[in-house]
Structure 1
Amino acid sequence: MSKHEKDGGIVETVGSSVADADASSLANVRHADDVRLAELGYKSEFKREFSLIETVAFAFSIMGIVASVTSTLSFPLVSGGHVGMVFGWLIPCFFVLCIAAMMAELTSAMPTSAGLYYFSAKLAPPKYAPLASWITGWANVTGQVALVCSIDFTCAQMITTAIAVGSDGNVVLAAGPTYGILVAILLSHGVVCSAATSVLARLNLFYVVINIGTTIAAIVGLLVGSGSDKVSTKDAFTLFENNTGWANNGWAFLLAFTSPMWTLTGYDSAAHISEEVAGAAKAAPIAIMVGVVATQICGWLLFISASFATHSVSDLLSTDLPLPMGQLFLNTLGKRGMLAIWSFIIVVQYVTGAAQAVDASRVVFAFARDNALPGSRWWKRVNRYTQTPVNAVWLVIAASIVFGFLGFSEAALSSLAGASVIGLYTSYATPIFLRITSGRNKLVPGPFSLGKWYMPLGIVAVSWVAFINVLLVFPAAQNTTAETMNYAVVLILAVFVFASGSWIISARKWFRGPVSNLDSTSSRDESLNKAQ
């Protein structure tokens, strides 16, 4: 054998050894994850196909920054104009970061799809653990489903906006056809989200590329396309306009917070897919923090660009298009340019809805796994072919279709946004509140720990959620009608009445919070022994 052949053999052997070592290392990580899950009381039912990068991509994509800003531009426009756009986004970011940090610490300590309601059960006093888990779980399920519907509803609005612009205003679809588009989007998401975990993990890399690319294109397009028509720097940052109908300017400005609070939701998704993540105790908290910070930065830059490009707030608010951002792009880029970037924004919103549907289905699956939902035996089933909770996916889709009837109200977006934010942030705040009270000495920190900072950050987080929940039940204008009313309070109250009634009548007698689904104590011991 020649030296060249020998060298080639050496290279091949070394390469093979490295590949084998990598595969072995990954297998060990996944095995350690399964052992940790067994310690938390659950057997592993999913394939761990999400890597760190794919988990970060999932957490970032679920917030769909460019599409979310596009969907909610009307809130800051009405509640402060330029000041609402710039500072209505910036101020809530500091408080949301505190919540995200607390969420990351809890997820690192207890990486399970049960997520928030599991955290509440483990941190509450034993006597109240089932009730804390019940409240958190129902709040999270409500927020998750409302968020799926609100994302897909605005996706439908984006499509109707494109149709209106493409037809030069000759085709303006009413609430009925818009609802039909919403149903079609939801059904397609049901198909996509029923796929295997490996497929979903790879799709998220595509999601994040198109998300970031479209965001950059939107920022550049608004700044360059507005040319000399840009407003001055002073006006872009300081010009305040109150178009809410509320007499108090300070209160009017606070209502602009709806936009960032709706956008900066869903980052708990990293916790809910943690049973499908390799190295979940490290990857999931990193995904939460990176996803939130990246979204905050990109969102603020996009709103600043929109503020510079907005020559007249009143013109955008008086547009016949369903979404004012469509009018802003039309004014700035012209018809062809607007439709070009709008098509990508529609894709971003579509994939954001798909990611959120995956997240919601995992929450439903986990809650049903602990027998907390009517018909739990159906919703906790894992499809033997895809190894994903397909039944839970379609329950989310069906519930979102029902929520979609709010689309026949003029205040549909504010109602769905308010309901999703209130539901989700209540479920975020409950375990955080328990962490800084009864659970101070109960948490065994994971790789991501806040140390002594958990207490001040937790106090800020809980206080902010209490404030924002009150804020979001108010209507956008002082004088309302049945059509313009904020129905968020109706949705939240309906779920509250159902959950409270079922607890008092029945659930308090049988619901004990998270229930281990390990076959026996010996199976748990066997899993632990294999890791040693």
Structure 2
Amino acid sequence: MQPPVKEAVITDLQSHELDGSNADEDGTRYDVTDMDRMGKAQQFKRNIRPLAALSFSAVLQATWEYIMLSDYEGLQDGGLAGMLWSYVWSSIGFGFIIVSLAEMASIAPTSGGQYHWVSEFASPRYQKFLSYVTGWMSVLAWQAGTASGNFLVGTIIQGLISVRDPSYDPKGWQGTLFVFAMILITYLFNVYAAGLMARMQNLLLATHIFCWVVVVVVLWVLAPLRSAEDVFTDFQNFGGWSSMGLTVMVGQLAAIYGCLSSDACAHMSEEIKDAGRYVPIAITWSYFANAIMGLVALIAMLFATPSVADALNDDTGFPFIYSFKQATNTAGVNGLTAIILIPVILSNILFNASTARQTFSFARDRGLPFARWMAQVDPKRKLPVNSIIVTCIISSLLSLINIGSETAFNAIVSLNVAALMFSYSISMSCLIWRKIFHPHTLPPARWGLGRWGLAVNIIGWLYVLFALFWSFWPESTPVTTETFNWSVVIFVAVFLVSLVVYVFQGRHVYDGPVTEVKTHGL
């Protein structure tokens, strides 16, 4: 492995000058070369500097925030120790995935991400079909992830109302209205304040870190703490599964959800200066830093949880709010929750931006219906405004599910995990295939894994398959229509739709990015 060195990060992240190219349009000479090799025109402003890219990736991933917000299933299926250790092995497993994705992002720094990498690395015989299906599932994953973040903000606001007014009876339609408000804020920021967000990335990173310090310190200092033996060895089974090992496997979905999305920076590659070098640095540094912050925050919360059963049955529906109640009064609970909501809202805004770029890129390669419209770039703002609108509309539609069934929306969260794991598995398997059989045809990478790269790729790929398998399991037993994980139905349905669209439209209009790439050839 060739890890980024400290000197490069400190010196070059602060200031990276261009070599004879327009600062806002083309980026560095390396960016010009990469875009030319991939056959893509520079349509966006490259106004995200390397340090801002690192901030973007860290704030969007928001590991410590999401591991606290989404801990319900982990506590239900595993208890304190189950939640802790499933996060530990999930973060390690994802580490192998992340560095593999970073390597591919260095080889082909494009907004397309997984489907583009499949198109470049797959066997010529299968690249068109595999790239097309991967593109559909990647769009599905990012759209579901964007919706899940907005949903969490809306329902947490309802939880705060319940803290202040115990008689409040939260309704699904009320939560959906809060989600709509969050989506509107996201749209306004990503269309009308995109330049401001690019300049504020370092401030957003400082906010992400400062809020983490406040929450961790308050829990450690003010909350009554459990013993270390309870936190590290007390496994519990509230899901009704036949064995403790099985229940912990099912509950690990909460930990996996907290580890997702650090590759979002790859989908912003066409707006980052010197993307071939600094996108992989941003992906890896942000992931491992976030993983450590997430572990500290999780341990603090578990120590501050006197009763797992009471936490699961809390009126707000969020075990982390129950933990806050142990540390402070009503005003303090509201304050601490607001401190978490601030970086989560920022994460949602950035998540929408990354999702819109990924959707735009696949439409640019004619992989989606209404591709020409979705691939339009606003000539004044140099932004994919139509793709941003589509992303907001899909988030709004998915939030409507909450009106009828919260269980159905929870399936969307699982769908985010499953679809993303599927896209990872295909892109990583194509990279492994090319390294084994045609290593001389791989374009050079300015950030690579060296001689250990193939082994790292294979380990990461095996973990992807492991996570994909468990993402479809229901959260408890006996399995009924209420506890069944409907993500498998949605996943298969969208997969079949992609096949139908491919047969009737895709195979006629979609050639895949590789047809425009200046390859080394087999």
TM beyond 0.5: yes
Q: Which residue of 2 aligns with 1:124?
A: 122
Q: Which moved more, 1:331-340 or 1:411-420?
A: 411-420
Q: Which residue of 2 aligns with 1:135?
A: 133
For this pair of structures, how many residues does the alignment match?
A: 498
Q: Which residue of 2 aligns with 1:111?
A: 109
Is 1:329 aligned to 2:329, yes or no? Answer: no
Q: Which moved more, 1:346-355 or 1:20-29?
A: 20-29
Residue aligned with 2:433, SS: coil
Task: Give 1:509 deviation, angstroms.
Answer: 3.2
* Alpha-carbon distance in 2 for matches of 1:360, 1:494: 21
Q: Percent identity, please.
A: 25
* Alpha-carbon distance in 1 for matches of 2:372, 2:453: 38
TM-score normalized by the length of structure 2: 0.91
Find runs of 4+ consecutive structure 1 residues off by over 3 angstroms. 19-29, 515-518
Q: Which residue of 2 aligns with 1:432?
A: 428
Residues 342-379 of structure 1, C-alpha deviations (whole Å, 9 max, x = no match): 11211221111111100100001100100111001111
Are the counterparts in 2 of residues 106 and 119 from structure 1 also a CA contact under 8 Å? yes
Pair member with larger Rg: 1
Q: Which residue of 2 aligns with 1:315?
A: 310
Q: Which residue of 2 aligns with 1:183?
A: 180
Change (3 A) 1:516 1:193: farther
Matched ranges for 1:210-249 at <5 A: 210-226=207-223, 229-249=224-244
Q: Which residue of 2 aligns with 1:280?
A: 275
Are the counterparts in 2 of residues 429 and 465 from structure 1 also a CA contact under 8 Å? yes
Task: Give 1:85 deviation, angstroms.
Answer: 2.4
Is 1:488 aligned to 2:487, yes or no? Answer: yes
Match 1:411 to one of 403, 407, 412: 407
Task: Give 1:202 deviation, angstroms.
Answer: 2.0
TM-score normalized by the length of structure 1: 0.89
Matched ranges for 1:357-436 at <5 A: 357-407=352-402, 408-412=404-408, 414-436=410-432
Q: Which residue of 2 aligns with 1:63?
A: 61
Task: Give 1:144 deviation, angstroms.
Answer: 0.2
Are the counterparts in 2 of residues 406 and 412 from structure 1 also a CA contact under 8 Å? yes
User: Residue 308 of structure 2 aligns to which amino acid in structure 1?
Assistant: V
Are the counterparts in 2 of residues 65 and 215 from structure 1 also a CA contact under 8 Å? no
User: Residue 432 of structure 1 aligns to which amino acid in structure 2?
Assistant: M
User: Residue 475 of structure 1 aligns to which amino acid in structure 2?
Assistant: P
- Structure 1 gaps of 5+ residues are 1-18, 522-532
Are the counterparts in 1 of residues 435 and 454 from structure 2 also a CA contact under 8 Å? no
Residues 434-473 of structure 1, C-alpha deviations (whole Å, 9 max, x = no match): 1111454232231111122222112112211112112111
Matched ranges for 1:231-310 at <5 A: 231-310=226-305
Are the counterparts in 2 of residues 62 and 356 from structure 1 also a CA contact under 8 Å? yes
Q: Which residue of 1 aligns with 2:205?
A: 208
Residue aligned with 1:172, SS: coil
* Alpha-carbon distance in 2 for matches of 1:479, 1:431: 36
Are the counterparts in 2 of residues 59 and 269 from structure 1 also a CA contact under 8 Å? yes
Change (3 A) 1:381 1:516: farther
* Alpha-carbon distance in 2 for matches of 1:253, 1:326: 23
Change (3 A) 1:149 1:263: same
Residues 141-190 of structure 1, C-alpha deviations (whole Å, 9 max, x = no match): 000000001011011111111111122x1223211111111122112212
* Alpha-carbon distance in 1 for matches of 2:196, 2:341: 21
* Alpha-carbon distance in 2 for matches of 1:349, 1:155: 8
Task: Give 1:237 deviation, angstroms.
Answer: 0.9
* Alpha-carbon distance in 2 for matches of 1:99, 1:68: 19
Q: Which residue of 1 aligns with 2:88?
A: 90
Match 2:72 to one of 74, 94, 97: 74
* Alpha-carbon distance in 1 for matches of 2:315, 2:249: 26
Is 1:144 aligned to 2:139, yes or no? Answer: no
Task: Give 1:382 deviation, angstroms.
Answer: 0.6
Is 1:194 aligned to 2:206, yes or no? Answer: no
Change (3 A) 1:286 1:311: same
Q: Which residue of 2 aligns with 1:510?
A: 509
Are the counterparts in 1 of residues 18 and 29 from structure 2 also a CA contact under 8 Å? no
* Alpha-carbon distance in 1 for matches of 2:515, 2:209: 40
Are the counterparts in 1 of residues 43 and 382 from structure 2 also a CA contact under 8 Å? yes
* Alpha-carbon distance in 2 for matches of 1:21, 1:298: 28
Is 1:448 aligned to 2:447, yes or no? Answer: yes
* Alpha-carbon distance in 2 for matches of 1:375, 1:345: 38
- Structure 2 gaps of 5+ residues are 1-13
User: Residue 159 of structure 1 aligns to which amino acid in structure 2?
Assistant: I
* Alpha-carbon distance in 2 for matches of 1:138, 1:362: 14
Residue aligned with 2:472, SS: coil
User: Residue 321 of structure 1 aligns to which amino acid in structure 2?
Assistant: T
Are the counterparts in 2 of residues 196 and 387 from structure 1 also a CA contact under 8 Å? no
Residues 34-71 of structure 1, C-alpha deviations (whole Å, 9 max, x = no match): 23211111010111111111101111111113330232
Are the counterparts in 2 of residues 46 and 276 from structure 1 also a CA contact under 8 Å? yes
Change (3 A) 1:338 1:97: same
Residue aligned with 2:306, SS: coil
Are the counterparts in 2 of residues 85 and 304 from structure 1 also a CA contact under 8 Å? no
Q: Which residue of 2 aligns with 1:52?
A: 50
* Alpha-carbon distance in 2 for matches of 1:463, 1:454: 14
Are the counterparts in 2 of residues 197 and 276 from structure 1 also a CA contact under 8 Å? no
* Alpha-carbon distance in 1 for matches of 2:216, 2:434: 46
Change (3 A) 1:216 1:136: same
- What root-mean-square deviation, in Å, do the aligned CA atoms of Structure 1 and Structure 2 show? 2.1
User: Residue 215 of structure 2 aligns to which amino acid in structure 1?
Assistant: A
Are the counterparts in 2 of residues 156 and 178 from structure 1 also a CA contact under 8 Å? yes
* Alpha-carbon distance in 2 for matches of 1:20, 1:184: 37
Change (3 A) 1:196 1:130: farther
Are the counterparts in 1 of residues 472 and 487 from structure 2 also a CA contact under 8 Å? yes
Task: Give 1:517 deviation, angstroms.
Answer: 7.8
Change (3 A) 1:24 1:499: closer
* Alpha-carbon distance in 1 for matches of 2:314, 2:456: 42
* Alpha-carbon distance in 1 for matches of 2:234, 2:428: 37
